[in-house]
Amino acid sequence: MDLGPESSFTKFPSVVHMGDWSFFLVQGKEGYKLLSTVCPHAGGEVVDWGTSFMCPDHGWRFEMKDGVCVNGPLAQMTSFPVTVQDGHLFADVPIETFR
Ligand code: FES
């Protein structure tokens, strides 16, 4: 999916919507990626908490580069690769994600 021109994303994380689904576009250690806002614990909605992402349901927090949980068990937000092609960002999100 074409997310738009790379130059249109000037701050990170940026919220990206695909239909009813939301993601955070971040700049991780290995480049751009999308992090799902669906919490890996029990499906709550992860929000931008300023210096981290946070799920209000049970308080899990995640660092903002790769979505690694910083105050709970070994867990990570679901991520999807984003590549740059001809100045546009393209996300590789499998169709199964939206079912
Ligand atoms: S559902 Fe997110 S912390 Fe439990």
Question: pLDDT tens for residues 7-39?
Answer: 999 999 999 999 889 999 999 778 999 999 999
| Cα 35 to averaged position of ligand 1 atoms, centre (Å) | 15
Ligand 1 pocket residue status of 58, Cβ below 6 Å: yes
Q: Comparing C-alpha atoms, which of 57, 30, 19, 53 is closest to residue 41? A: 57
| Cα 65 to averaged position of ligand 1 atoms, centre (Å) | 19
Tokens 């981290």 map to which residue? 52
Cα–Cα distance for residue pair 64/88, rounded to 1 Å: 22
* Domain, as residue range, for 79: 2-98
Domain count, the chain: 1
Ligand 1 pocket residue status of 83, Cβ below 6 Å: no
Identify the CATH number of the domain in which residue 51 sits.
Answer: 2.102.10.10
Dihedral sign, Cα of residue 83, residue 18, residue 94, residue 62: positive
Ligand 1 pocket residue status of 44, Cβ below 6 Å: yes
Q: What is the pTM of this model?
A: 0.93
In percent, how much of the chain has pLDDT > 90? 85
